[in-house]
A and B are shown apart, each in its own frame.
Chain A
Amino acid sequence: EPEVTQTPSHQVTQMGQEVILRCVPISNHLYFYWYRQILGQKVEFLVSFYNNEISEKSEIFDDQFSVERPDGSNFTLKIRSTKLEDSAMYFCASSEGVGLADTDTQYFGPGTRLTVL
């Protein structure tokens, strides 16, 4: 069964450093998403991406964040200058993107645990 994959599974970085989190969405999916989950808390939407541009973003997704689809398979999230509060699990998701938004199932990858020291 096709699945979303993410690398690395765990990333440790120093405050102020740049990190790039990588995702390979399901191959025929058109919509891609990044969510984050601070330990023990709810899942928070960061950004959605469609047709090579950002479709929607949350207030969390400020100028420190960027997303890119550098080739036909990868989808990346870059954090330019990490802060302590960026420590969280980051999930990538993808959906077919066909038809109504309400019926568009999002499938999640296993996540990347980001630890900022």
Chain B
Amino acid sequence: QQPVQSPQAVILREGEDAVINCSSSKALYSVHWYRQKHGEAPVFLMILLKGGEQKGHDKISASFNEKKQQSSLYLTASQLSYSGTYFCGISGANNAGNNRKLIWGLGTSLAVNP
């Protein structure tokens, strides 16, 4: 049930682009993206919903591919501040019930160098 993230690690030069994927073998209803810097808490980036539009936040955007049961996070014109580990979390809940835990992928380590 754990989502699979790829790649495991990316090294970029400042200004380059990257794509991080998060896929699931089970039906996806939403994907939550977070970034975690070393020694800090995960910081929420965005939520992608099944059937929803591509979302964006500054130069970071994401999409949801229902056929592939996958969400992709796009980082364009990367900045040094983008460095960190990116996690996707899935809920698979699709309801207003009480089960709100997130199941996390193993993370993608991104290093942006000058």
Q: By the criterion CB–CB under 8 Å, are A43 and B99 in contact?
A: no
Distance (whole angstroms) from the CB of B40 to the closest CB of chain A: 7
The residues in B between 30 and 49 inclusive whose CB is less than 8 angstroms from any CB of A are: 30, 32, 34, 40-44, 47, 49
In Å, the complex CA distance between A33 and B30 comes to 18
Check A101 against B32 for contact (C-beta < 8 Å).
Answer: no
8 residue pairs of the A-B complex, CB under 8 angstroms, read A58-B101, A95-B100, A100-B96, A101-B91, A101-B95, A102-B94, A104-B100, A110-B41
Q: Given contacts A100-B95, A101-B95, A105-B44, is CB(A42)–CB(B100) below 8 Å?
A: no
Does residue B105 face the partner (Cβ distance < 8 Å to A)? yes
Decide: B100 and A48 in contact? CB cutoff 8 A: yes
A: number of interface residues (CB 8 Å) = 28
Which of B34, B42, B49, B104 contacts A102 (CB under 8 A)?
A: B49
Partner of A50, one of B42, B91, B95, B98: B98
In the complex, whether B29 has a CB less than 8 A from a CB of chain A is yes
With contact pairs A56-B98, A58-B101, A100-B94 given, residues A106 and B44 touching in the complex (Cβ less than 8 Å):
yes
List of 7 A-B pairs having minimum Cβ-Cβ separation, nearest first: A102-B30, A101-B93, A108-B41, A55-B98, A45-B101, A101-B100, A43-B104
Complex: A99 Cα to B93 Cα, angstroms: 12
Chain A contact residues, CB within 8 Å of chain B? 31, 33, 41-45, 48, 50, 55-56, 58, 91, 95, 97, 99-111
Interface residues of B in 67-114 (CB under 8 A from A): 87, 89, 91, 93-107
Shortest beta-carbon distance, B30 to chain A, in Å? 4
Which of A44, A56, A103 touches B47 (beta carbons < 8 Å)? A103
Question: Whole-angstrom distance between the alpha carbons of A103 and B44 in the complex?
Answer: 12
State the Cβ distance, A2 to closest chain B Cβ, in Å: 13
Distance A109 CA – B44 CA, assembled complex (angstroms): 11
